[in-house]
Amino acid sequence: MNLILFFTRGNSLKTWDSVGMFDREVALYRRLQDKDCNVSFITYGGISEFEYESRIPGINILCNKWHLPTVVYQRLIPYLHASILRQADLIKTNQTNGADVALRTAQIWNKPLIARCGYMWSLNMSRMFGEFSTNAQTALKIETKVFSSADKVVVTTPAMASDIAQRIPDVAKWTVVIPNYVETERFAPSEKTQYTYDVIFVGRLSKEKNLPALLNAVKELSVKTAIIGEGDLRSGFQKQYVDSKTTITFLGNVPNRDLPLYLNQARLFILPSLYEGHPKTLLEAMACGMPVIGTNSPGIREVITHGENGWLCETDAESIKNAINHLLANPELCKKLGKKARKYALDTVSLDRVLDMEIEVYSSVLGETNDTK
């Protein structure tokens, strides 16, 4: 089987690497190679993309080696990469932003399309810019067109599937839920009994992550806190929250391959977001057997069952502070939550499980396509 993955508009292997997500994102496709699947990546990077060939041997890298403007490149993708696209059995999107390019390519070459999205793009744009903003309306238009035309739509949560079913009822018939995966052999508990940090956060330093509430909480508690990730807000956070007395450390981006080491150096993981899709960093922390705290927000409360596999709190600093205090004061509760978190990760989001679900969807699409010929 020949599978072509279209990257999110504007993204590249270099983008994945620079933000530390390269190893996580390619893991599924490396495993698919073991299942006799030939994989090609269509990215928006330049010739520097070929520097990654040694890290993903056997995966074809199809990039913008002509240095074309993005708007020109995405228009010409169906023709620039024709020799590989002609041989494709399946075309798949990584996210909805740029899925219109994949749809057009699939239609030109008469190939089946799997429209995969890890979060609802239109919903995020509405939250960021307003429901009637150009950003939100453009995202909604592309979602509707792509989801309606795809052979299968793959989403990461039942809530996303329900949202699509309400907006575009017919699409429910070909919508499938496949969760984000975790390499549970890499993300696993360690035997470490000495901790460097009390609390750790991993994620983009952006508005929706609600970092001020977390930083205000931990500064008041004076607990040792690690903040992993980058974003436009980092410099402002550092100026406001870091001084000679602070116990907050900003570590920047960390490669995904090194993340288990950092997670296992902390007593608690916390995700204080205002909203999420299906948060990978939360799932990775749970796979490490960590006691996790999450805000009672969309995308988080669907993963954490309060008091069972994690702890839920509200999004304000006082509630976050109380949750951290409560868990740090109750090591036996932390132990119980961590054990249940690890079991949840193994049972629901392990790479092996998701790999089987992916292959089942591919086989279903190819079988349906052959039946119509």
pLDDT of residue 222: 84
pLDDT of residue 373: 43
- pLDDT at 67 > cutoff 70: yes
- pLDDT at 216 > cutoff 70: yes
Rounded distance between C-alpha atoms, residue 302 and residue 93, angstroms? 24
User: Averaged over 81-109, what is the pLDDT?
Assistant: 98
Q: What CA–CA distances, in Å, run from 300 to 188, 257, 278, 326, 349?
A: 21, 24, 7, 19, 15
Q: What single-letter DSSP state applies at residue 38?
A: E
Task: Tell which CATH classification among 3.40.50.2000, 2.40.160.10, 3.40.50.2300, 2.40.40.20 matches the domain 2-181+351-372.
Answer: 3.40.50.2000
pLDDT of residue 370: 61
The highest-level CATH class for domain 197-348 is alpha beta
Structural domain boundaries of the chain? 2-181+351-372, 197-348
What residue type is 157 in one-letter code? T
Q: What CA–CA distances, in Å, run from 268 to 66, 178, 215, 314, 344?
A: 47, 27, 15, 17, 17
- pLDDT at 372 > cutoff 60: no
- pLDDT at 1 > cutoff 80: yes
Rounded distance between C-alpha atoms, residue 209 and residue 189, angstroms? 25
In tens, the pLDDT along 285-317 reads 999 999 999 999 999 999 999 999 999 999 999
CB 349 within 8 A of CB 283: yes
Rounded to a whole number, what is the distance in angstroms from the first to the last CA of the chain? 17
Burial class (CB in 10 A: 0-12, 13-18, 19+), 83: exposed
